[in-house]
Structure formats: C-alpha cells, structure tokens
A and B are shown apart, each in its own frame.
Chain A
Amino acid sequence: MTLRAETLPSASPVFGDLMDGERALPVRVALTLTATDLVIAPGDGEALRWPLSLLRRVPDQAHPTDLVLAQASDPVTRLIVRDRAMVQQIKAVARHLDKRPPMQNTGRLISWSIAAVASVALIIFVLVPVMANQLATFLPPSGEKALGDTTFEQIRNALDGSGIDPVPTCESPAGLAALAKMEARLTETVDLPYPLTVRVLDHEMINAFALPGGYVVLFDGLLDIAEDPDEIAAVFAHEVGHVVARDPSRMALRSAGSIGVLGLLFGDFAGGAVVLFLAERLIQASYSQEAEMNADIFASETLEAAGVSPLGLARMFERFEELSGDQPSLLDHFMAHPDLVSRIERAEASGSAADYTPSLTDAEWQALKTICD
C-alpha cells in the first residue's frame, strides 16, 4: 500500500495499522494527537477521530512496546501503534486506557449461579443419598463382602503409614474365643444379612468401624482404654447396628455419586484430588450423624435383649468425650434423640445389676484385653 505525499500532515508523520473489522486487510494510517482526539487518517477517505477519553488498550499483549488500541463501545476496530514516541504520548494523555467495559449478563450470571448451586445441592444432599439408600438394600451379599475385603486391606495398608507391611490383626486364641462369645451373645437376637467378620487391629487408635459385607473392626487402643467388657460390648453392638443398616455400603455408593459431582465444581485447579478429598470428608461426616444415632438405638436395644447393661454405652460416650474435648458434644447427640436418653435413664434408674450379667467373665475380659500381646 502506498501513501500519496500530499495527504500527509507536514510534521513528521507517524503511522499505524488500522483493522476496520470489515476486511482482512490492515490499512496504513497516519496518526496525529489533538487536545481531545486521536486522528486516524487513511491514505484515502475520511479521517477517523477517536476521543482520548474513549481510547482503550487491548490488555495482556505479548509485544513489549506495541500498543493495540480500541475505542470503547466498538468491539471490532483495532489500531496498532508501533512508534514508541507516539505510544508514550498516547499513554500520557489517554486517561482511561485500562478502564474495563461494564459487566454484561449480570442477571443471567446470578440466576445460573443459583441454579448450579441448587442442582448440585439437590443431587448431593437429596438425590444421591436417597438412591444410595434404596440401592444398598439390593446389593448382593457376595458383592458387599468382596468390597469389604478390599477396603479392609486398604485400611490396613493405609494405617501402617510406611505402606510396607499392613497393620497386623490380633489373634491370641483365648482373646478370639472371648470375642466369639461376645459376638454370639450380642447377635443371638439379631437378624443379620450375612455372618459377621470380626477383627482386632494392632494399632493404638481408639476407634472401631464397620465395613461392607459384615466387617466389624476394633482397634487395640479401644480395648486398652475400656474398663469393663460391657463398654466393648456397647461399641460392638453399635457397629453391628451399622452392619444391619448396611451403612457402609450406602456410604460407598454415596461417595461414588457425589465425588464425581464435586469434581465438576472444583475442576482441575489443583489436581483436584486434595480439595475433593476434603469436601468428601465433610459430606460423610454430616451423613454419619443420622446413621450413628440409629446405630446407638440399635445398640441399646440389642444390649438389653442380650441381657447386657446398656450403661456401657453411656460410659463409652463419656470416655470418648473426655478424650476429645472439642468434639461436638455428645449431649447434643442425646438431646436430638430423647428415646435413647430415656432408655439409658431407665437402665440407670433400675440401678440394680440384677437384670444384667456382664458380657464377659473376668478371665475372658483379660484374654480380650491382651489379644494383641
């Protein structure tokens, strides 16, 4: 493209490339700054006047010195200024180079945000739990057992920390016999979906849990702090409550549904995994409360039916409370379930040990406590 000399301003001319957004052909234009405008003069045709207050810089440009200009409210036309002196002059006089365009679509953005939050909440807190609850009862016992086997091995490996050898299970014969006696006594009146698999892990954690397929797992740490066999019987009965309600399988199904949805939300900003894991923990914790309560009710009923004092349950609660001061108070837990409170109060009121026999004899209790030695 050539420029005819007579159209140029007399003072040393500065050029730029104008892209009019109509044709794929940049037009070489002469640039002059007046007090109010940037005058853009093509070789032929009428000059454009862009008011200085409307000049906008196209952001995040890679070229270190070139300035790519646009006019506010015109999304298409672009002007590339390469002359450094001109770039400096424009930067000095154009006040609003970096002003951003007003936000568009605010209403739509807000309504879709609400819709997204609502649908995710609906799925995670309503749809997935309801479906998981329904589906869990249809799982064949063999599938649940296999799931429990793999999960148990995973947990043993994870607890080891080093990951070299899994945490051993405790198997002193006398201890196992005591455990079997407790199991027989507590499950006599219970209609189990499948036989129990009871294990003691040689680990100092004060805990117990149930896994799909009838796993009841006690930690050695729990046996250490318990002061009498009825406390262990109470925890045992509580875990059997989870097994009967098929809570572990529900939890597995539920996390399968919700983890994918959460993955959507956080995207890949940090490999996703960590955030997903934390979010999943939160959900599981809130999920557990209702299930825990039902397991407690189940435990107190079962203990009573087996002729074991349900006071063990209350003592175990107290012990947990001492151990973890800042945990949500068990008082709340009881308040939310007056049925359980009255049950234990009744047990306390009756007071006499006459109706109950200890779940294990002293000798058996000692055998159980030393199962890991």
Chain B
Amino acid sequence: MSEALGTEFVGRKGAYFWLSLKTGILTILTLGFYRFWMKTRLRRYMWSAIRPGGHPMEYLGTPLEKLLGFLVAVVFLAFYIGIVNLILMFASFSLFAGNGAAYALSFIGLLPIIFFAQYRARRYILARTRWRGIRFGLEPGAWGYAWRAALHWLATILTLGLLLPRQVFYLEKYRADRTFFGDKRLHQGGDWKMLYPPMVHMMIGAVFGLGSFAVGATSTERAFFLVPVFLIWFGYGAIHFRVQSLKLLTNHKTLDGVALHAMPRTGRVMKIYGVGYTLVYTVVGGLLFALFILLFATIMTMIGSAAELDETFDIEMIQNLTNTPVWITTILTVMLYFTVFLMWNVLSQVFVGLPLAEHYAQTLSLQNPGALTDIRQRPRDEFAEAEGFAEALDVGAAI
C-alpha cells in the first residue's frame, strides 16, 4: 500500500441545486434563522462528496451548536460593536466632520476580531470533520493568529504587496502546524520565498498597469489603452497566485510520513469562474427579464380588459396603476429582491462552488498512504462556541 491514494468527487449539480434552493427558501422564510441548518446541510453534502481513497469525508457539526455559538457571540459582540461604533461616529463627526472616517476606523477596530474569528471558525470546522472515522483538529491559538495576521497585513500593505508571499506562507504555516489528523500533527514545510514565482503575473499586471497609466498621464495618451489590458492581466495574476500558492503550500505539507500532493490548474479554475459566473448572470438576468415581461403583460391585460368595457384609454389609468397601495409594491419589491438574492446564492454555489471543490478534490492525492495505519483517534473538541464569532461577523464561516 505504498502507491498514491487519489480523491474522488461524487457531488452532483442537480442534487446540490435542490438542497441549496430548499434550504435557501427556508432561510428567507425564517428571516435568517434557518441559516444554521442550511450551512450544516450544505457542508454535510459537500464534505461527503469529497472521497479521498474512496472514503467520504464526514461533517459532524450540528445546527443547534451553531445557533448556541452565535448567541454567545452576539452577547459579547453587541456591546463591543454598539458602543465602539457610537464612539467612533462621535469622534468622526467631531474631528473629521463626516462619517466616512468612522466606518473605516470601525472596520480597522474589528480586524483583529475578524482574524480571531477566522481561526476559531477553522478550529470548529476541523473539529467537526472526519475521514475514515478519524477526527481532524486545530490547536487553540486564535489570539496568536490574530496579532500575527494583523502585523503581516500591515507589512504587506506597507511594502505595496511585496511581502504578500511571506504573509501567505507564515499564516498558513501557523494554521497548518497546529492542525491534526487523529493523533498526528500536520507539518508545513517549504520556504516563504517559494511563493514568489506564482506572483509573477500579478507583478507584471501591477507594474506595467501603473507604468502605462503614468506614461499616459505624462506624455503619450495612447498608453491609457494599455491600462485595462494590464488590469485584466493583474486579475488573472491574482487567481494564478491563489491557485499556485495553494498548490505549493499543499505539496509541502506532510502528516507523519504521508505527503499531500495537489495539482490544481490555473486555467481550469479560470474556466470554472468564467463559465460559472456567465451562467449565473445569464440565469439571474433571464429571471429578471421574465418577471419584467410578466409585469408588463399584467398591465397590458388590465388596459385590454378596460378597452373591452368600452372605456377610453387615458393617462389616468396608468396613474391608477401607480396609485396601487404602497404595501403591495413594497411586498413585490421585497419578494423580487429575495428571489434574485436567493437565486444568485444558489446558482453561484452550484456553478462555481461545486466545480471548484470538484477540481481541487480530484487533483489532490495522498502519497505513501501506508503510514495512515499508525494514526489513532483524537478526543472530541467540545468547543461550544462553534463558529459563532465568524458567523456574527460574516467572515470565514461561509461554506
């Protein structure tokens, strides 16, 4: 048993579509309360679709523990957010005569808590993930992560992005080195400088984009035409960096003799984004168009039936239509908003989220799986807070 262990993916768009549509509708009908159930069920499906060595992953988080964790987070965060926002708004009105500064400050004030929440959310998710019956786990260390993340971000911003590889590498190493599968610890090897080559397209896009802007602004105006080209190049570079840095980082991860091997391809990921979002836009756009036609047809029918009654058509009839009670138009608007929102979420899950998971899963394999035999179970991490903070702050707890 020394050959590589590949990963199957058995998720299907149809089944996933109905599951996310059903749970999405319930979430909207319950003013968001069902989201804990929705998230749990979608994760169960997605986890079980990923089958390294033919054995499904299992997600064991429960909706009620998510609800509980959310309530706990609300109790603490409500004070922080309410009072801090108020004071910041006051300071911003007094010092800067505007509220823009307050929103910026409020966001910066929240950043450490956001990093904290992201680490805790990861801990919760890993603690509730099993493969071959063995639990994953993440050691406590959220505050250590939060201040490291804040400093790395600061360094990256101050060096105009030049230290991005360092940030990505060390933050991933911090998380990976605290990750367990059963009783064995994951190890992140490699070096931060290995992430520079994947960054090359991003750099070309940024340097030449700014360069052609500068040339356009100072001497040859035609250089402006190159700016969008390099913007697109930069966008491609950003995706390339994400995919390739993930690949490199994964390929330098080991678990007590077992090595991870990932082969995701930038081109494939680009294609998934391109095709996926085109489909999403088309369907949501088509839906909006259909609703518009329906509304138009309704108005025409009303005018038509009035004509049958030998009433002369005049502008007042249109005015009568616009005089429909406010609550009807409000309800229609709200329904339209929720329909579009729901379809957007569901379709981007199905056409982008699922194919991406499929690609990443199918290109992942385990080298020397024989070493897995020595792995034993780890105790359950109760972690009652679940991903409450991340959920409350809307960060990192997405499926």
Residues of A within 8 A of B (CB): 17, 19-26, 58-64, 66, 68, 75-78, 80, 103-105, 108-109, 112-113, 115-116, 119-120, 123-124, 127-128, 131-132, 135, 138-140, 142-147, 150, 249, 252-254, 256-261, 263-272, 274-275
A264 to B110, CA, bound (A): 13
CB–CB B58/A24 < 8 A: no
Q: Looking across the interface, which residue of chain A has its beta carbon closest to that of B181?
A: A24
**Are A256 and B48 closer than 8 Å at their CB atoms?**
no
Q: Is the CB of A80 within 8 A of B377?
A: no
Residues of B within 8 A of A256 (CB): 85-86, 88-89, 99, 102
The answer, yes or no, to whether B12 is at the interface (CB within 8 Å) is: yes
Question: How many angstroms from the CA of A219 to the CA of B7 in the assembled complex?
Answer: 68
The distance in angstroms between the C-alpha atoms of A68 and B82, with both chains bound, is: 46
- B14-46 CB mask vs A (1 if < 8 Å, else 0) is 011001000000011001100100000100111
Known pairs A105-B64, A127-B83 / 10 extra A-B pairs, C-beta < 8 Å = A26-B55, A60-B45, A62-B11, A62-B46, A104-B64, A123-B82, A124-B82, A128-B86, A132-B86, A144-B93
Contact of B86 with A267 in the complex, beta carbons under 8 Å: no
The complex places the Cα of A59 from the Cα of B37 at a distance, in Å, of: 12
Q: In the bound complex, do residue A267 and residue B133 qualify as a contact, i.e. CB atoms below 8 Å apart? A: no
Chain B residues with CB under 8 Å of A119's CB are: 74-75, 78-79
| Interchain residue pairs with CB less than 8 A apart (19) | A20-B133, A26-B133, A62-B46, A62-B49, A63-B49, A64-B10, A116-B74, A123-B83, A127-B79, A135-B90, A143-B97, A252-B89, A256-B85, A256-B86, A256-B88, A258-B82, A261-B82, A264-B74, A267-B392
Complex Cα distance, B377 from A104, in Å, reads 24
Which residues from A are CB-within-8-Å of B337?
A: 270, 274
Q: Is the CB of B81 within 8 A of A264?
A: yes
Tell me which of B65-73, B139-147, B260-268, B272-280 binds A: B65-73
- Residue total for B at the interface (Cβ-Cβ under 8 A): 73
Work out how many contacts link A and B, with CB atoms closer than 8 A: 210
The reply to whether B68 and A267 form a contact with Cβ atoms under 8 Å apart is no
In the complex, residue of chain A having the shortest beta-carbon distance to the beta carbon of B333: A274
Q: Contacts A23-B377, A123-B82, A147-B99 given: A60-B48 contact, CB under 8 Å? A: yes
With most chain A CB atoms within 10 A of its CB, the pick from B16, B56, B65, B392 is B56
Q: Smallest distance from the beta carbon of A130 to chain B beta carbons, Å?
A: 10
Partner of B94, one of A59, A75, A143: A143
Contact assessment for B81 and A261 in the assembled complex, using a CB-CB cutoff below 8 Å:
yes
- Tell me if B90 and A123 are in contact (CB < 8 A): no
CA distance A20 to B376 in the complex (A): 11
Least Cβ distance of B162 to chain A in Å?
33
B94 touches A140 (CB 8 A): yes
Nearest A-chain residue to B51, judged by Cβ: A63
Does B2 belong to the interface (CB within 8 Å)?
Answer: no
- The 8 Å CB contact of B10, one of A58, A62, A75, A252, is A62
Let me know if A24 and B372 touch, CB within 8 A.
yes
